[in-house]
Structure 1
């Protein structure tokens, strides 16, 4: 793992746990303690973490790390989720994407899908997103019509929120929406750190014929501050095979069809 990838991974790991000691972080990222100390010192200089005796904690301004610092962790799992999600999209459809690292990977998978990347006089797909970084990547691809919701930009997640986003979303319909989450609990459903993002993500899901929560299994059992929704807005939960079997059964019992990445399960809309 290159240094910038390792530092990205350290920041995301710290974001999940809140604090880390040097030895714990070194073991998790498979480097020496001396290397980890240097990485922590470098990130502290950028005010992305605060050094403690023997470790580090999140800085007060980084409760939700910028997406550009989160791409190096669980990359393989997110790419597998993206491949599976892209396979659920029909050519000519309208896709909703919330912000987040996993949904960003879905956007990339769709942009490079062979039948969607073919040149043509008209776009092969419409993507509606409230994420500035996703729109920035897709805007240069003429085969995809990119629709940005508008709103006020969140400095860490690059998501647009607020009344302008709501106004736009209430005027459209989406065939399928993929909504990222910071936590996924069988009882509570999908949750995120910010209440404004939760409101917009929930509205995007409501405007979709089929809405899918998508996140890797490390988020299962985690509850964050703001609830996006459960089976009342989502039809399915796309995750990887690390989700515990007991949790999977509970999601199913509560009306959320669990789809495992790369297993090729057929779409089964159980919301109705």
Structure 2
């Protein structure tokens, strides 16, 4: 396990109950107590947790996410998708991240990538997002340049939507966009519960040279309220739970399906 993988795993352990002990890390990750303490100290310096005697808590986090971010039956699949998405991102890239639990997992992974946290006089990554929780998560990374789109906050998702968001998005050019959705269907394409979020997602995807819908397999074949009208849906990153029939149906429509390896 690499150091980046360890840091991500520690944050996952912390998310389970809000606190983690050095002994938990030693047992779960198979590392020495000294390594566990060094990793906790590193995450504390990055303001991702608060150190305590013998462990750490989430006390340094300045906000509470909506409940759907904290109770997720598909967290492992989303972590796998995040790893596959991260592999597409090169240092120096300009990326777009919509809101959602899968992109939140991706943002957490990016925050611990060693190449993006190496000393640099220029941004190692530029992130454009309409999700304030993602912006807050990455804001403590001095090498990552953050642009928040502006707009009206949707308190159910922590995403900014509306005409102000659209105006700002028209002024940026992205290398890659990662679009979180509530459902994705071979015929209808990606769909979102909220029509305002669907519009922002569409604009973000169209401002990117390449765009990828990120959706765990539980969302495949599902349809939500608002379609992403005008979006040329060409890339889907999902997990190994996708059926062969669904995968073939997407590919028949011209959509590349990237299946993230199981961890």
1:79 is paired with a residue whose SS is helix
Q: Partner residue of 2:228? A: 228
1:234 is paired with a residue whose SS is coil
Q: Partner residue of 1:53? A: none
CA distance 1:162–1:206, shift in 2 (3 Å): same
Number of residues of Structure 1 aligned to a counterpart in Structure 2? 201
Q: Partner residue of 2:251? A: 252
Take 2:97 and 2:211, find their aligned partners in 1: how far apart are those partners? 10
Which runs of 5 or more structure 1 residues have no equivalent in the other structure?
7-65, 264-272
Q: Partner residue of 1:211? A: 211
Kept in 2: contact 1:191–1:229 (CA 8 A)? no
Kept in 1: contact 2:170–2:207 (CA 8 A)? yes
Q: Partner residue of 2:104? A: 104
- Is residue 189 from structure 1 mapped to residue 158 from structure 2 by the alignment? no
Residue 110 of structure 1, CA deviation? 1.3
Q: Partner residue of 1:15? A: none
1:201 is paired with a residue whose SS is helix
Which runs of 5 or more structure 2 residues have no equivalent in the other structure?
1-12, 18-64
TM-score, length-scaled by structure 2: 0.73
Residue-by-residue CA offset, 1:51-84 (whole Å, 9 max, x unaligned): xxxxxxxxxxxxxxx6443333211111111111
2:147 is paired with a residue whose SS is strand
Runs of 4+ in 1 over 2 A off after TM superposition: 66-72, 232-235
Kept in 1: contact 2:189–2:233 (CA 8 A)? no
Take 1:111 and 1:130, find their aligned partners in 2: how far apart are those partners? 17
Q: Please give the residue correspondences for 1:1-272 in structure 2 after superposition, counting only pairs within 5 Å.
A: 67-73=66-72, 74-229=74-229, 232-262=231-261
1:141 is paired with a residue whose SS is coil
2:86 is paired with a residue whose SS is helix
Take 2:75 and 2:151, find their aligned partners in 1: how far apart are those partners? 29
CA distance 1:179–1:67, shift in 2 (3 Å): farther
